[in-house]
Amino acid sequence: MFRRVTTRVLLLLCAMYFITYVDRVNVSTAASQFGRELSLSHTQIGLVFSAFAYPYLVLNVLGGWLSDRFGPRRTLAICTVVWAGATILTGLATGFASLVFARLLLGLGEGATLPTAARAISHWVAVERRGFALGIAHAASRIGNAVAPPLITALMLATSWRGAFILTGVVSFVWAIVWLIAFRDNPRDHPGISADECAKLPPYPTDPLSHAVPWRPLCMRMAGATLVYFCYGWVLWLFLAWIPQYFYHDYHLRLADSALFAAGVFSAGVLGDWLGGEATDRLLRRTRNPRIARNVLVSVCMFLTLLSLLPILLMSNLSLVTAALCLSGGFFFNEMTIGPMWSVSIDIAPNHAGTASGIMNIGASLAAIVSPVVGGLLIDRTGNWNLPFVVSIAVVAAGVVLPMLMHPERPLGADDEASAPTASGTLAGEIEGGTQTTV
């Protein structure tokens, strides 16, 4: 399996997901140190967390469009250089303003990464394995979430919180060099790919620049997915921003112990991403019904997320282990929605996968702006570290119903696009006529 170029490309993308999430969530672990050194309130720390999301929001769509127009190879290489520099600048920050600037620059660099990766996967992975590929790539990001607290803590203890940021930024620069060497936009241009691998991949557009984006139809079709992804993103960013400090402050653990509990919660997301991707692929192959494989699966997972978080609302004075298990369950089921959700954007717009993914990711970006700040305000005003997670229950309840607004079974047709689609007409048709394979 590892001799296949398609597998190596997927692993390279997984490495990118891992690195980007270490670089974006390292502040939550380091906050206890730089917050004290720079005399920041919890509200200011929440603003530092959310500053990342403002340019990230804008670059989701713009970056997705750039990847559709100029290809993932160049787009990701440039983005990586920007976010690597921003990570190093975070370690050089001298106050609140410089921290916010570095986080804004980080959002600028990382904004295009996930839509661009989705664009790469749309051409490098067989149709019936998209859910698996997207799920396993996002699982790598959750490994980054899980590894980040103990990794950053170890780097902080070995150097300082500043040294932790500088070292992780250097790793990002190295990835950009490897990406430029190892990746090609069109799989068939890669010197090491076999004819057998090429035969199992979707066709590559003969002229990808000729496809004008049908903005209005595309935005209307992606509106439901964007709303659902806001609900997902609310839980995600609340967890990423405050889970390490939640165990540190609410249960009065040592920094190293709180990092380990946070890593345990984030590890549950790794399994959730993988299982969600596998589940949506299997449901699609068995039912030939994208609404069951995508919409119903997302609704069920959102409902189970809600059930997992309910004990925090209904029970007071939860033990440390019970709280950790409830939060782990909530994160696990929330992450199970990743595979089906990112597959929806490719299902709806196979010729504009980067742009469609960027539109959907606006939802999570908006949540990333609001959720950490709301969490910080609630903690500052009440001193209750459980309250932000209670608010999330109401958001997740909306996420149970909203998936019914998505229509992955109806891809954008020729009437909506400036040119005829290069992928086959419907998702069910693609699977029926394709060859089953594994990545």
The token pair at 129 is: 């394995």
pLDDT on residue 316: 66
Residue 333, CB-side half-sphere exposure with 13 Å CA sphere: 22
Query: Which of these, 279, 208, 129, lies nearest to 423 by C-alpha position?
Result: 208
CATH number of the domain enclosing 335: 1.20.1250.20
pLDDT in tens, 262-278: 778 888 888 999 899 89
pLDDT in tens, 23-53: 877 887 788 788 888 888 877 887 888 788 7
Is residue 358 assigned to a domain? Answer: yes
Is residue 88 assigned to a domain? Answer: yes
Say whether pLDDT at 138 is over 90.
Answer: no
Say whether pLDDT at 425 is over 60.
Answer: no
Pairwise pLDDT comparison (196 vs 228), residue with the higher score: 228
Of all residues in the chain, the percent with pLDDT exceeding 70 is 90
Using CA atoms, how far apart are residues 439 and 429, in angstroms rounded to an integer? Answer: 20
Who contacts 223 (Cβ-Cβ below 8 Å, separation ≥6)?
A: 405
Is residue 216 assigned to a domain? Answer: yes
Q: Which residue, chain included where needed, has tokens 């950009």? A: 176
Is residue 90 assigned to a domain? Answer: yes
Is residue 438 assigned to a domain? Answer: no
Per-residue pLDDT averaged across 287-302, rounded? 93
pLDDT on residue 438: 37
Who contacts 158 (Cβ-Cβ below 8 Å, separation ≥6)?
A: none
Who contacts 225 (Cβ-Cβ below 8 Å, separation ≥6)?
A: 341, 344, 345, 348, 359, 360, 363, 406
Say whether pLDDT at 439 is over 50.
Answer: no
Q: Which residue, chain included where needed, has tokens 């060497």? A: 181
The token pair at 20 is: 């980007």
How many domains is the chain built from?
1
Is residue 424 assigned to a domain? Answer: yes
Contact by Cβ (8 Å): 439, 5:
no
DSSP state of 316: S
Is residue 439 assigned to a domain? Answer: no
Who contacts 269 (Cβ-Cβ below 8 Å, separation ≥6)?
A: 139, 142, 145, 146, 331, 332, 334, 335
Contact by Cβ (8 Å): 413, 420:
no
Task: State if pTM tops 0.85.
Answer: no
Range of the domain at 265: 5-433
Is residue 282 assigned to a domain? Answer: yes
Coil, strand or helix at 434: coil
Coil, strand or helix at 435: coil
Using CA atoms, how far apart are residues 339 and 432, in angstroms rounded to an integer? Answer: 20
pLDDT in tens, 316-357: 677 888 888 988 999 999 999 998 998 898 889 887 888 888
Using CA atoms, how far apart are residues 245 and 253, in angstroms rounded to an integer? Answer: 9
In this prediction, residue 230 has a pLDDT band, given cuts at 50, 70 and 90, of very high
306-338 burial: b if 16+ Cβ within 10 Å, else e: bebbebbbeeeebeeeebbbbbbbbbbbbbbbb
pLDDT in tens, 193-214: 888 888 888 888 766 555 577 8
